[in-house]
């Protein structure tokens, strides 16, 4: 039955692309972040849902172009040039890599194919979602999918499904990128601001308090996953959110609530951190506190050897094996070092620059009175909080093809674009 419902949804999506193609774009973006084909895999057997939705969306974009419904001015934004440059650097690095033969868990061709899809669909969807209506449903879709993952993760715990845990840590749906516990934690971290800030922008009492009740369960989901990097990111994001919330009572309640949740439910993460420190005290002075520190040292050295184009996508392990044979080969465990060591320092710096652009975007909107527009104000606060949290997670993870990141970049850019148009309209009226 579910299989036919999926087919029916595809058919309905196909019908809407000629009048409302932005719906297909929003569905594609949400689908890429949630990856439901790994949750309800039995409903998608024999289907290629991601490719199908992508094709429908591309046709919708083509239809919108023909009907002059695509706002091409949004493509002129600096963020798009940065992403195009990074994309090009990936391919140049792969083409001129000094390591033609290498071994890695995921081959460079696979990563490049994934990045190609992400980038193509980023630019396709960007032209379709440049409206307040699309922004609204992007926020709703992110809130819903995060709330579902909160339910899913807590259900694994309360139903005592130990097969879903590895060394006491909850894994995401098998087969998906969220199977890795650390990556799984990132979806909760970037989704938390969507839940938290909605409390101040939803008017109906029942909806408002129903949504905020998801927050403590979301924290519990993070603790189940047990990622220390995500814990640090969540602490920082929660503090930032408390500063942005214009309520002298709620911000204190939020901070106290998180501290209580961490001390009462986050025992496994706190214990892991304590054990790591104790272990480091019992080892030689030259041993790193965490294997990531050795990975980062390797990454910095590789950047010195290959600053222009790096060692090539997915060649980090192979290069570290060659240059540091005395050590166990590691992956980068850091998005900046992954970009820089694998595909050149310029790519890594551009990755950092994306966050600087997002911060400038946020400050511009605040300075020019975005508070007048509740939806845009909500997105402004959500995006800066989520992106800062993501940046902290990226210090510990290789999140170069994490679709949630590109979802946030799209949402943030369109928000800025829509707000600029409103400012222009206001200026024209005042003339």
Predicted pLDDT at 267: 58
Predicted pLDDT at 280: 44
Chain CA centroid to CA 15, Å:
30
Is there a contact between 413 and 83 (Cβ–Cβ < 8 Å)? no
Helix boundaries (H) for 67-127: 78-95, 108-126
Q: pTM (2 decimals)? A: 0.92
Phi, psi for 170 (deg, rounded to 5): -75, 130
185 token code pair: 């934690």
Predicted pLDDT at 105: 73
| DSSP structural state of residue 162 | G
CB atoms within 10 A of CB 342: 32
Phi, psi for 169 (deg, rounded to 5): -115, 135
Rounded Cα distance, 161 and 155, in Å = 8
Predicted pLDDT at 285: 47
Predicted pLDDT at 392: 94
Residue bearing tokens 């809130």? 143
Residue 186's nearest CA partner among 194, 197, 178, 195 is 178
Residue 292's nearest CA partner among 322, 331, 324, 338 is 331
Residue bearing tokens 């054990």? 275
Rounded Cα distance, 108 and 14, in Å = 33
244 token code pair: 């942005």
Is there a contact between 280 and 263 (Cβ–Cβ < 8 Å)? no
* Rg, C-alpha atoms of the chain: 22
325 token code pair: 């044979």
Phi, psi for 240 (deg, rounded to 5): -60, -45
Rounded Cα distance, 408 and 354, in Å = 11
Element (H, E) at 399: none
Beta carbons within 8 Å of 353's beta carbon, 6+ residues apart: 82
Q: Per-block average pLDDT, block size 10, for the chain (431 residues)?
A: 87 90 95 94 91 95 91 94 97 92 79 95 95 95 96 94 91 92 94 93 85 91 90 91 82 82 69 50 50 87 95 90 78 91 96 97 96 96 96 91 96 96 84 64
Predicted pLDDT at 269: 60
Beta carbons within 8 Å of 25's beta carbon, 6+ residues apart: 57, 60, 61, 124, 125, 128, 129, 134
């Amino acid at each position: 039955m579910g299989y036919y419902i999926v087919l029916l949804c595809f058919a309905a999506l196909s019908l809407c692309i000629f009048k409302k193609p932005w719906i297909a774009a929003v569905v594609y973006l949400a689908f890429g972040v949630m990856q439901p084909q790994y949750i309800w895999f039995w409903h998608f057997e024999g289907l290629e849902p991601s490719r199908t939705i992508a094709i429908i969306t591309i046709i919708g974009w083509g239809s919108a172009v023909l009907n002059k419904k695509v706002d091409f001015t949004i493509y002129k934004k600096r963020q798009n040039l940065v992403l195009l440059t990074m994309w090009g650097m990936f391919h140049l690095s792969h083409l001129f890599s000094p390591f033609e033969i290498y071994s890695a868990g995921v081959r460079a061709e696979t990563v490049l194919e994934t990045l190609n899809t992400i980038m193509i669909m980023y630019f396709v969807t960007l032209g379709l979602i440049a409206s307040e209506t699309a922004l609204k449903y992007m926020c709703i879709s992110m809130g819903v999918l995060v709330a579902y993952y909160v339910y899913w993760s807590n259900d694994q715990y309360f139903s005592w499904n130990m097969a879903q845990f590895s060394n006491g840590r909850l894994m995401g749906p098998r087969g998906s990128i969220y199977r890795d516990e650390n990556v799984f934690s990132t979806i909760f971290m970037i989704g938390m601001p969507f839940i938290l800030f909605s409390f101040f922008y939803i008017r109906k009492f029942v909806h408002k308090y129903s949504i905020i009740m998801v927050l403590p369960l979301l924290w519990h989901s993070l603790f189940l996953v047990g990622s220390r990097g995500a814990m640090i990111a969540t602490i920082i994001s929660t503090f930032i959110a408390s500063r942005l919330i214009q309520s002298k009572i709620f911000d204190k309640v939020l901070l106290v609530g998180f501290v209580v949740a961490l001390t009462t439910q986050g025992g496994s993460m706190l214990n892991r951190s304590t054990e790591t420190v104790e272990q480091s005290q019992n080892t030689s002075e030259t041993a790193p506190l965490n294997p990531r520190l050795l990975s980062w040292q390797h990454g910095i050295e590789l950047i010195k050897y290959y600053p222009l184009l790096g060692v090539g996508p997915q060649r980090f392990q192979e290069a570290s094996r060659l240059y540091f044979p005395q050590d166990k080969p590691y992956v980068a465990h850091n998005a900046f070092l992954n970009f820089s060591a694998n595909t050149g320092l310029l790519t890594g710096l551009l990755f950092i620059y994306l966050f600087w652009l997002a911060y400038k975007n946020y400050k511009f909107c605040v300075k020019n009175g975005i508070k007048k527009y509740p939806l845009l104000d909500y997105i402004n606060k959500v995006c800066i909080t989520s992106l800062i949290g993501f940046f902290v997670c990226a210090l510990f993870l290789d999140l170069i093809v994490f679709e949630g990141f590109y979802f946030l970049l799209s949402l943030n850019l369109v928000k800025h674009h829509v707000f600029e148009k409103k400012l222009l309209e206001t200026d024209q009226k005042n003339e």
